[in-house]
Structure 1
Amino acid sequence: MIAFARTDTSLVARWWWTVDRVALLLILLLVLAGIVLTMAASPAVANRIGAPTYHFVIRQALFVIPAVLVMIGLSLLSPDQVKSVGGICFAVFLLLLALVPVVGTEIKGARQWIGAGPIAIQPSEFVRPFFCITTAWALADARVRRNLTGYLVTVAMLVGVVGFIVAQPDFGMTMLVLGTWSVQVFVAGLPWILVALVVGGGLAGLVGGYLMLDHVASRIDRFLDPSSGDNYQIMTSLSAIQNGGLIGRGPGEGLVKAVLPDAHTDFIFAVTAEEFGALACLLMIAAFGGIILRGYMRMMQERDLFVVLAVSGLLGSFGLQAFINMGVAVHLMPTTGMTLPLISYGGSSLVATAAGLGMMLALTRRRYLEGTR
């Protein structure tokens, strides 16, 4: 066990005594659970595509190393350093996001990835946490200076990010970015005239997506009226959850992973329910809730508006993504292609989520023990 004297003034020692160790433990437990569940869900998927049995398991385990290093590294930063890193990284990944329609790789009808040899990244995943930081910075500045410039800057950033994501297209990620931004502007106290414009724009975007994007219309129609189309994935997911019962069929005994193409990503919650049962699902939900509640409890002790807004956005994004993924699995909302953070297979999702949580841990450290900002 790591142990440091309270008189130790080294960077790591100060980090250890000021970081939320309970939240850190819950995050690491979810990462470990992600490897275990990927091992349960992915071999059948790998065999279907002709890959080695543990292809996805090995790749996910390798992604864990940079993810944990990124999270710990970012959690060492001060709020001012988080601002700087967040702004620079937002600009870099926004540029990559803009390049996706030009040089991106198309998978399943969507162009969301940029590949370089064996490595491929999904810029939209990385833009999201750094967008939270940059938006919080602009909103906090607007409140301090009492002008609309900061609000208009955030609206411009939102339009740019959403525009590039819609072009891919990725409607689920678009809704997640809009939801995250809405949390931040609500906390910041957005002027009512801008609230009306934003709500109107969001509704117009939703209607436009339904009218112009066939796959979006199809998903919404099938959600509202299951008889209007193919609902095989959702029905299979619900059947798996029901068959799992309270304690599950047992590790490796599930059937859903053999028939669902996205069992290791979009529907890993169904695999969890079938093989490990409702109790395991409740423990997973409790871990997600614990991270979010711990973060918000520490945030409420903050006086720095930037910290409050940034943590609100980062935790809102994390919690909303988890809710959407699990909600889809139990048919509470249309399918979106959203991964379960820290659990689902995917290097970009894992590392980007770790980056967001690392910045959250940095911003919620008990800085009064350090005596520095």
Structure 2
Amino acid sequence: TKPLNSWLIPVSIALYAVGLVAVYDAGYARALDGRGGGNAALWIVLKQASYGLAGLTLMVAMAKMGYWRLRKLALPLLLVSIGLLVLVWVPHLGIARNGAHRWLGLGPVQIQPSELAKLALIVYLAAYLTHPSVNVKDLGRGLAVPLAVMTVMVALVEREPDFGTAFVMFVSSIAVFFMAGTRPRHLLAIVAVFAVLVGCSLALGHGFRRQRLTAHFSAHTDTRGAGYQVFRSLLAVGSGEVSGVGFGAGREKFYLPEANTDFVFATIAEETGFVGSLVVVGLLFALVWLGMNAALRVRDDFGALLAAGITTMVGAQALINLCVVTGTIPATGVPLPFISSGGSSLVFVFAGIGIVLSIAASASPRRADGGR
């Protein structure tokens, strides 16, 4: 199967198309807040369309390039992403919003380095763990370096602060370690240490995290205060019932903060109901299934680890976003892949799918020895 004939392409484009429509719809409410009306909403969706075009171009380029070339680029990509994560703290380069240092301003263009970092970390771990000299069964000599790199990358993103993206990076890294053959007890130890660090971060770290926990648990008791955003999201999801209130007829997008970004699925659920929500979730599930299928079928271990890591990254991000919108977990600021408004996320998700396309193109049943 050639890359451009893969089902990954129509599924990805379908999700992107849903996103364009949803961003315009939810963005209209945001535009009215700024008194820009329909023209401002059109500008929002045109920006998203331009990001999508850039992402599609990058996807095709990555699919045609050959994923194996990324092995030599693993360390340079890692170093560049670390450098960019540090630069977000530099005055006049980094852009701070609501106390968060997550963006870099490069002239008229703003990028979110953590989106590149997610991919760069997966590429580096896949390259390192499949090197012939590395014994993944040895926690000390085999895993010390990749674990240190993962810790540094996750910590840099967490301190921006962006716990949601840091958590996605950790989960996708664990998927790569697992696919590489790391001992289960070592994986459990890594997860346990991470859980302790998360607890310490909640207890001693940024106060807004405790505020988000408060908002999560007070969604039904403090609907005008801390629980306002979660309450509005739940109201939107519940209002959709089976078939929705109709496209453009949703009301909660006029009151829900981040209606076109992190909470865009709430508008989709309200206006298309359970049926439309099921279609979106089904497309996301299909994307994950196709990616994991490529990971299990490719002969090359490097390709298998790459596909598993990237697919887990997209799947974990989608699951976290949906759980936030439905009030299952506290808000994290993680966008819905392909659908939420945002340039960096869209471009690098497309890039990741391009890599998986390249892997899928060379996929075939793996040898019993794992391809080593």
Q: TM-score with structure 2 length normalisation?
A: 0.89
1:79 match: 67
Q: Who is 1:111 aligned against?
A: 101
Q: How does 1:1-373 map to 2 (within 5 A)?
A: 17-19=2-4, 21-51=6-36, 52-102=40-90, 103-141=93-131, 145=135, 148-191=140-183, 194-212=186-204, 213-224=206-217, 226=219, 227=221, 230-366=226-362
For 2:132 and 2:195, locate their aligned partners in 1 and report how far apart those are by CA, in whole Å: 26
Distance 2:74 2:20 in 1: 28
Offset of 1:300 from its aligned partner? 1.5
Question: What is the distance in 2 between the residues matched to 1:225 and 1:249?
Answer: 27
Taking a change above 3 Å as real, the CA distance of residues 26 and 87 of structure 1, as seen in their structure-2 partners, is farther
Q: Which moved more, 1:315-324 or 1:181-190?
A: 181-190
| Cα deviation, residue 277, structure 1 | 1.7
Shift, 1:81, TM fit: 1.0
| Letter of the 2:78 counterpart | F
- Structure 1 CA distance, aligned partners of 2:146 and 2:115? 19
User: Which segments of 5 or more consecutive residues in structure 1 lack a partner in the other structure?
Assistant: 1-15, 369-373
Q: Percent identity?
A: 28
- CA–CA separation in structure 2 for the residues paired with 1:221 and 1:344: 25
The amino acid of 1:366's aligned partner reads S
CA drift at 1:320: 0.5
Q: Distance in 1 between matches of 2:280 and 2:177?
A: 29
In the aligned structure 2, how far is the partner of 1:18 from the partner of 1:268?
A: 30
Superposed CA offset, 1:216-260 (max 9, x none): 122224434544871111111111111112221111111111011
Cα distance in 2 between the residues matched to 1:332 and 1:143: 43
Provide the aligned length of Structure 1 versus Structure 2.
353
Name whichever of 183-192 and 221-230 sits farther off: 221-230
In structure 2, what is the equivalent of residue 371 of structure 1? none
Contact 1:111 1:168 in 2 (8 A): yes
Letter in 1 for 2:285: G
Counterpart CA distance in 2 for 1:195 and 1:272 is 37
What is the SS of the residue equivalent to 1:64? helix
Q: Per the alignment, in what secondary structure is the counterpart of residue 105 of structure 1? A: strand
What SS does the corresponding residue of 1:54 show, helix, strand or coil?
helix
In the TM superposition, residue 196 of structure 1 has moved relative to its aligned partner by 5.0
> What's the offset of the Cα at 1:323?
0.5
Checking the alignment, whether the CA contact within 8 Å between 1:311 and 1:360 is kept in structure 2 is yes
In 2 relative to 1, CA 142–225 (structure 1 residues): closer, same or farther, beyond 3 Å?
farther
The alpha-carbon deviation at position 107 of structure 1 amounts to 0.8
Contact residue 295 and residue 315 of structure 1 kept, 8 A: yes
8 Å contact from structure 1 (residues 321, 339) kept in 2:
yes
Q: Write the distance in 2 (CA, Å) between the matches of 1:30 and 1:152.
A: 38
- Matched position secondary structure for 1:101: coil
**Structure 2: 5+ residue runs without aligned partners?**
365-372
Partner Cα separation in structure 2 for residue 165 and residue 90 of structure 1: 14
CA distance in 2, matches of 1:338, 1:203: 19
Separation of aligned partners in 1, 2:74 and 2:241: 43
SS in 1 for 2:105: strand
CA RMSD of aligned residues (A): 2.1
Q: Contact (CA 8 Å) 2:94, 2:102: kept in 1 or not?
A: yes
Query: TM-score under structure 1 normalisation?
Result: 0.89
Q: How far has the Cα of 1:150 moved from its partner?
A: 4.6
Give the Cα separation in 2 of the matches to 1:315 and 1:192. Answer: 21
Whichever residue aligns with residue 2 of structure 2, its letter is: W
The Cα of 1:190 is off from its aligned counterpart by 2.1
Residues in 2 aligned to 1:110 and 1:121: alpha-carbon distance in whole angstroms: 14
Give the superposition deviation at 1:301. Answer: 1.7
CA deviation map 1:282-341 (0-9, x unaligned)? 111111111111121232222322111111110000000001111111111111011001
Closer, same or farther: CA 219–21 of 1 in aligned 2, 3 Å: same
The answer to whether the 8 A contact 1:43-1:55 is kept is no
Could you say what secondary structure the match of 1:338 adopts?
A: coil
Amino acid at match of 2:323: G
User: What is the CA-CA distance between 1:195 and the residue it aligns to?
Assistant: 3.1
